[in-house]
Chain A
Amino acid sequence: MIEVKLHDIGEGMSEGEILHYFIKVGDTVKMDQPLVEVQTDKVAAELSAPKAGIVKEILAEPGETVKVGTTLVIIEEEGSNSLQSKKPVQIDRGKEKVLETGGKAQVATVAMEDRTHLRRVLASPYTRKIARENEINIEEVVGTGPNGRVLDQDLYAILEGTKQPSRQKKTEKLMPELRSSSYFSEPKVEVRTIPFIGRRKQIAVKMTESVYTIPHVTHFEEAELTSLIDLKNLSKKDGVSFSLSAYFIKTLVIALKEHPIFNSTLDEKNEVIRLHDDYHIGLATNTPDGLIVPVLKHADQKSILQIDEEMKKLTRRAQNNELKGEDLRGGTFTISNVGPLGSTGATPIINAPQTALLAIHKTKRRPVVTKDDQIAIGEVMTMSMSFDHRIADGAQAVAFTNRWVEMLEDPKRLIMELV
């Protein structure tokens, strides 16, 4: 028997939610064949079969959140069966009962039982004795005691027929008294519910932590992109196509190099602000499952076209839920481009422990005053930058965005940097 356990897929994860199984009990699986998809704090990961064999048991249900180390699937190796197997864990349990009770009728029922439903329950030895004497399968009983412990009265209730042994969900177990009260028996308005789990829950946890820990300050700025758009159109004619976002990232890295405080993370425990030499730009990406932030690594070492290409790849993988843990780690600064969706201003929440997050909003055609005091039509983009006021101050933040805006408004300035 091989137990496939949930292992630590990312750095120090402690639990994961079962999304779905690719297999069912009885299936023959090959080595490395995907068995189950698990949503961790950051990614949906597949666990694969460590050996070839037949799926004997599936122990956690989809939707369930399980701790690292929990056995999810039991595979029986090919060429063995449960009777010959060296570690017949469940069979042992049956034997134990045989020895202790010595009752033949019970031996038969225990041995024939569908073992996929067995689970560990909390119960005192005396309660187990009552269950055994009355041939109640205690694994099937939902306890009403502390931590769901099965109590004597739970068994007596079953014996009296006032309770059915069942494997109800935890939510129902939580409030046994309330469930039977008149409040719950009154006709109630039907509401649709969405499970608050998985990535949604992770986003909630992270955002709450960030907003409650970091004193956020957001300042707003705008940039006139007419020249940049001209450049983009010009290069397109010459067969070079880059997205504005790629240009934004390229220039952003230059601004960050000059204002390194915004390419930092705060390590509160060790009381240091870490200024990073790597420029790993997080790209806040909207997906059907919610916000996720893949990281574009070493943006400073890449050309605009390389950035463009990699950005598209990361976004596509995010949409298809194909990101790996590695893709999500190590960000030093996050950029959130909500322009394509609309919006001209926001107060974004920082992707802790980073120092700042820059949201780019919609570019609109607007009247602008030109250098020679004429009113003209300009392509004006708004942006919002939130920063951690513990680490940086407003003046630094404004200087930083000013520098960036310079390069956005006058692409020639970028060339100066590249010389």
Chain B
Amino acid sequence: MINLEKQSKTKQMTLVQAVNDALRVALESDANVLLLGEDIGRNGGVFRATDGLQEAFGEDRVIDTPLSESGIVGTGVGLAISGSKPIVEMQFMGFIYPAFEQIMTHVTRIRMRSMGTYSVPIVIRAPYGAGIRAPEIHSDSVEAFFTHMPGIKVVCPSSPADAKGLLLASLADPDPVLFMESLRLYRGEREEVPVEGYEIEIGKGKKVLEGNDVTLLAWGAMVPIIKKAASTVAKEGISCDVIDLRTLFPLDRDMIAESVQKTGKAVIVHEAHSTGGLGNDLVTLINDTSFLYMKAPVERVTGFDVPPPLGSLEDHFLPTESRVIAAIKRVIQF
């Protein structure tokens, strides 16, 4: 694995460019890597994540598939257990439901079922989330369906550099990984991304800001929101320990516990629905690891229990900076 800190050559990239770059590195470095998905070849993907890759690596490695999510993932399973390293693209996370059966009954279970003889080294890329005014089913954030089922790791980067490193690490993982890419962050910001390949360890969170008064936890598209909220409340003297979880399963229990034991207070932010959301597991994790350190009940700021609505109503569905600040104040003033 190449050390990220020692990378000298970098390039400005958006998150979607970093994904494209990671895929390019993967295809270059390992002949077993294959890409499968709808319109990913000639068209370069609905979000241009695979732009130029078929041209560079050929139709045998970057494969346009029929409109059949179940078929795509099912094919991926067969390829994976016979030695290939497929990276499949769901155009939107909301389109993953036809493939749900393949994921739940085969992707997550073959290692267990074969008592370790076979594993499924597949990466399922799924653009997710609201905030770009996409039609309703294009905006789902249903990570909790997948974190609930053991056997698949769930990764969700919030920055271009993380996206590249985590995608390459996901590919290197011998087991299946659901790789969530925020639609909202695809072109949200640019940052310097190392040109060479590198990996960021799966299962480790990232401390975005160091603070003492309250722990803020989020992932993907909500990370910029909590960073903004933290810098706003900092002006009032509230210092936030801000954590980007990066991997949703398995969670970085140590980092979360260490932080909440320091601050005694926590606010969890996710855009997925409240009921059955991953935030609930985080509350449980805090309860299990840090109950005696808590000075206030843990707050959650989440999407509401409705499908992501159309148009500008999305702005009311998604957690906003002001909702996060209100939650921070509630725990601070408890």
Contact = CB atoms under 8 A, between A and B. Distances in A.
B292 interface: yes
A129 B334 CA distance: 17
Contacts of B295: 124-127, 152
Contacts of A128: 292
Nearest to B290: A125
User: Could you tell me the dominant secondary structure of chain B's interface residues?
Assistant: loop
B297 to A, nearest CB: 9
A interface majority secondary structure = helix
B100 interface: no
B296 interface: yes
Interface residues of A, number: 7
A113 B291 CA distance: 26
A152 B264 CA distance: 12
B293 interface: yes
A124 B293 CA distance: 9
Contacts of B293: 125-126, 129
B294 interface: yes
Contacts of A125: 291-295
Contacts of A127: 295
Interface in B240-291: 264, 291
B289 to A, nearest CB: 12
B14 to A, nearest CB: 42
A152 B334 CA distance: 12
A124 B264 CA distance: 10
A129 B290 CA distance: 11
Interface string A69-103: 00000000000000000000000000000000000
Report, nearest first, the 10 A-B pairs whose CB atoms are least far apart: A129-B292, A126-B295, A125-B294, A124-B295, A125-B292, A126-B264, A125-B291, A126-B293, A126-B294, A124-B294
Interface of A: 124-129, 152
Given A126-B264, A126-B295, A128-B292, 17 more contacts: A124-B264, A124-B294, A124-B295, A124-B296, A124-B334, A125-B291, A125-B292, A125-B293, A125-B294, A125-B295, A126-B292, A126-B293, A126-B294, A127-B295, A129-B292, A129-B293, A152-B295
20 contacts: A124-B264, A124-B294, A124-B295, A124-B296, A124-B334, A125-B291, A125-B292, A125-B293, A125-B294, A125-B295, A126-B264, A126-B292, A126-B293, A126-B294, A126-B295, A127-B295, A128-B292, A129-B292, A129-B293, A152-B295
